[in-house]
């Protein structure tokens, strides 16, 4: 199971790389917009410096036409690193670009996936990751659970090495569902992690344990003080 952060905020990445087993960082132009008019390549290199070479970095193209997507992908690789996973939307032009890029051995994350058919095409195109948009699918009255289940079945059927990197989450239940339906990876905003880990019952349990320990050993004494 790979947990990734869907953010381009350096502080959020710095914080959560020390907390979760961070497998990678993803972003798109809308996520980047939140950071303001940053120097794109310098910012992406800064993310790479924070997460190290073991975690995967997924960077999205901006152009929507075949030539532009291929040019964007080559620029991303040249300016950020050859090991970047280039995010390409599964559109007609995006699929056309994926064929060329995959033939050159580029790491590909097929994104903007709302349907099983898009996923099947991206799997056949040799995408390393496919990113179904969980919450956005629900908004379109498309069942993401059923779709991700079938994507996982297709990967198993054809013996593909493609991994499902589920994305677009609004709550932790959606993340759980995506993983339970067969997604090998999930990328999420820190709001999901904050909500999941700040449940009052977790804090209350820890406070109770501390109080019970201190009732015996004294206030402020912990195991390491013995």
Enumerate binding residues for ligand G3P (CB under 6 A).
6, 26, 28, 31, 131, 133, 135-136, 167-168, 187
Asked if 106 and 136 count as a contact pair (C-beta separation under 8 A), the reply is no
Query: CA 116 to CA 65: how far, in whole Å?
Result: 23
| Of 80, 65, 73, nearest in space to 103 by CA | 73
Query: CA 223 to CA 83: how far, in whole Å?
Result: 44
Comparing CB distances to ligand G3P, the nearer of 20 and 100 is 20
Comparing CB distances to ligand G3P, the nearer of 43 and 136 is 136
| Of 67, 4, 55, 2, nearest in space to 31 by CA | 4
Comparing CB distances to ligand G3P, the nearer of 15 and 136 is 136
Query: CA 133 to CA 113: how far, in whole Å?
Result: 6
Cα–Cα separations (whole angstroms), residue 202 to 16, 176, 209:
19, 18, 11
Q: Name residue 24's beta-bridge partners.
A: 4, 56
Q: Name residue 6's beta-bridge partners.
A: 26
Query: CA 151 to CA 162: how far, in whole Å?
Result: 10
Comparing CB distances to ligand G3P, the nearer of 58 and 158 is 58
Active site residue 102: no
Q: Name residue 135's beta-bridge partners.
A: none
Asked if 134 and 152 count as a contact pair (C-beta separation under 8 A), the reply is no
Shortest distance, position 109 Cβ to ligand G3P, whole Å:
9
Among residues 87, 96, 102, 116, which one is catalytic? 87
Comparing CB distances to ligand G3P, the nearer of 118 and 168 is 168
Catalytic machinery residues: 87
């Amino acid at each position: 199971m790979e947990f990734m952060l869907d953010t381009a905020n350096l502080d959020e990445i710095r914080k959560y790389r020390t907390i979760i087993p961070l497998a990678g960082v993803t972003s798109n132009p809308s996520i980047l917009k939140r950071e303001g008019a940053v120097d794109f390549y310098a910012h992406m290199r800064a993310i790479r410096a924070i997460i190290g070479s073991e975690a995967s970095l997924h960077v999205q193209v901006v152009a929507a036409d075949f030539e532009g997507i291929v040019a964007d992908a080559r620029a991303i690789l040249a300016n950020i690193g050859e090991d970047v996973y280039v995010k390409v939307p599964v559109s007609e032009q995006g699929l056309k670009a994926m064929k060329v890029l995959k033939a050159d051995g580029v790491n590909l994350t097929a994104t903007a996936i709302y349907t099983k058919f898009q996923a099947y095409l991206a799997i056949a195109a040799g995408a390393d990751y496919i990113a179904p948009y969980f919450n956005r699918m629900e908004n379109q009255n498309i069942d993401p659970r059923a779709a991700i289940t079938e994507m996982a079945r297709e990967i198993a059927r054809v013996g593909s090495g493609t991994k499902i990197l589920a994305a677009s989450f609004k709550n932790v239940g959606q993340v759980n569902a995506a993983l339970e339906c067969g997604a090998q990876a999930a990328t999420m905003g820190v709001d999901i992690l904050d909500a999941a880990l700040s449940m009052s019952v977790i804090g209350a349990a820890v406070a109770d344990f501390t109080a019970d320990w201190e009732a015996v050993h004294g206030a402020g004494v912990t195991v390491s003080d013995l």
